[in-house]
Amino acid sequence: MTTTHSTSKASRSSSRASGERALHKGQQTKQLIVDAALGLAEQIGLEGLSIGALAEITRMSKSGVFAHFGSREELQMSVIREYYKRFSDEVFLPAMEAPRGLPRVRALFANWMTRVAIEIQSGCIFISGAVEFDDRPGPVRDALATSVQAWLGAMHRAVVQAKEEGHLVPDADEAQMAFEIHGLILALHYEARFLKNPGAIARANTGFVNILLRYSKSAARLPTTPV
């Protein structure tokens, strides 16, 4: 009786371990596909993604790729989620270590500029996706818009906190300041990636300094470090 019980328990443990290994392997495979899809999307856009192209890149069967997502639409949304996660890890989270107020606004902008310096070569999913899906309602557009709104909301909160900390002039328009910072990044992408203007990064940094000069109090106008 004891031997039978022990054998049964060992069998269940072995089955559970096998199931966990299979689940882990499946997650690793899916992540590998998403990584490949993100790299492809940065070059040709979300609309250019296809199950067939990814199967070729990852050397998997089409059915194997499809099994992890179920549809091309879900694949596109998985890429958006992965891009946002990386953007957040590189831009947003490190900036949260800076003190509230203008130091955090500066950190967000500096991290954003560092990211853009890479994207000038690889492309930005948020910007290319906006062009592809601006007039195409649906889950992919919603996922893109939600990601961009979350990031812009974080920048706006940082600006609001800067005003609360007394770093901005009393009549500073927080929404306008955040809008202008976002505009700098969009202009930088256009100037640097499309027009190949070699002075675009320096102009974006100068534009940010000018924004601070207009909105911040004299005591808070500390120099910024160019990217």
- Average of per-residue pLDDT across 153-164: 97
- Euclidean distance between CA atoms 29 and 64, whole angstroms: 10
Mean pLDDT across the stretch 113-137?
A: 91
Two tokens, residue 141: 């557009």
The mean of the pLDDT values for the chain is 88
Which amino acid is residue 34, in one-letter code?
V
Rounded Cα–Cα distance for residues 48 and 52 (Å): 11
Asked if pLDDT for residue 173 goes beyond 70, the answer is yes
CA dist., res. 191 & res. 199, Å (int):
9
The yes-or-no verdict on residue 18 having pLDDT over 60 is no
Q: Are 65 and 58 in contact (CB under 8 A)?
A: yes
User: Domain segments of the chain: what residues?
Assistant: 2-220
Q: Report the chain's C-alpha Rg in angstroms.
A: 23
Q: By mean pLDDT, which of 72-81, 195-204, 210-219 is the weakest?
A: 210-219
Banded model confidence at residue 219, pLDDT cuts 50, 70, 90 = very low
| Contact indicator for 156, 178 with CB cutoff of 8 Å | yes
Query: Would you state the structure tokens that stand for residue 211, as one six-digit string?
Result: 């924004």
Is the per-residue pLDDT at 7 higher than 90? Answer: no
CATH class of the 2-220 domain in this structure: mainly alpha
Residue 25 has a pLDDT of 74
Q: The tokens of 201 are what?
A: 């990064």
Neighbours of 48 (CB within 10 A): 12
> Rounded distance, CA 208 to CA 185, Å?
10
* pTM listed for this prediction: 0.81
Six token digits for residue 91: 């831009």
